[in-house]
Amino acid sequence: MYVLWKKQLRVQSVIKALSKPVLGASCTLKKAGDDLLVAQQKLMHDRDNLVLIKEIKDRTEEVFKWSEIEEHILKQRILVAHVTEPEIIKALMDIGDLKYPSIDGFGAKFYKASLSTVKQDIFDVVMDFFVNDRLYATFNITLVTLIPKGSVVKLSNTICKSLDVPLYATFVPRLNIHDHILLAYELIRSYSRKGGTPRCMLKLDIKKDYDTV
């Protein structure tokens, strides 16, 4: 009974949030219809009143406007469907074998090869996101690795070997330092915003042939 009660509490706020747009549009539409009816009743006793005629015209346009809004919201609701297990599996299969969903070292190929064992765990994790509307921070961590200029590419791992030569433009002499300043600014300008995801910045002092960062 306690588990059922906790589940009801968890979905109650979500249901309220989902119903607010429709309820708001429905209430406004009902009020607009009531106002139109009152104006029409007044006009029956004063048919030559230009003010009432204009009011009825405005009220009618208001009713049509909110009718279209309510219809649009209801159509949007019809398009919403629950996520299914085949969709989750298909999304996993579409991930490249050399990409991995986290920093635990297990690539997508591992999950594909072990699907018969870990399928239910993957399904539970994905459904937890859609049901409880939460994403654990460790699921969305990205590592940025700086490849040293003097390293021998042949001794690097497979991912490093696949890097193309133009991607090493950062270490090319005569590159304008202003390009790096603009890039750094774009990366850090949203750090001061409230409510953002946790971030970390390290100030490194890497000696290069032509500059120091």
pLDDT digits (tens, 9 = 90+) for 12-56: 665 555 545 555 677 777 787 888 888 888 878 877 888 888 888
- Total structural domains within the chain: 3
The answer to whether residues 148 and 136 belong to one domain is no
Distance between CA atoms of 125 and 101, rounded to whole angstroms?
12
Concatenate the DSSP letters of all residues of 68-130 into one string.
Answer: HHHHHHHHHHHH-----HHHHHHHHHTS-TT--SSSSS--HHHHHHTHHHHHHHHHHHHHHHH
Domain end marker among 140, 166, 184: 140
Q: Which domain holds residue 204?
A: 144-213
- pLDDT reported for residue 177: 62
pLDDT at 99: 65
153 shares a domain with 212: yes
Per DSSP, the chain holds a count of helices (H) and strands (E) of 7, 0
* Domain match, 70 and 127 both: no
* SS3 assignment, position 207: strand
> Which residues in the chain land under pLDDT 50?
1-2, 19, 153-169, 208-213
Question: Which pTM value belongs to this model?
Answer: 0.33
Residues contacting residue 98 through CB under 8 Å, at least 6 positions apart: 107, 108, 109, 158, 159, 162
| Domain co-membership, 154 together with 210 | yes
Q: Are residues 95 and 158 in the same domain?
A: no
Domain ends where: 79, 101, 126?
Answer: 79
Q: Are residues 169 and 135 in the same domain?
A: no
Same-domain status, 102 and 89: yes
The last residue of a domain, from among 140, 164, 187: 140
Contact call for residues 112 and 93 (beta carbons, < 8 A): yes
**Same domain for 132 and 115?**
yes
Query: Is residue 8 domain-shared with residue 73, that is, in the same domain?
Result: yes
Q: Does 203 lie in the same domain as 151?
A: yes
Give the whole-angstrom CA distance, residue 109 versus residue 207.
38
Q: Are 12 and 74 within one domain?
A: yes
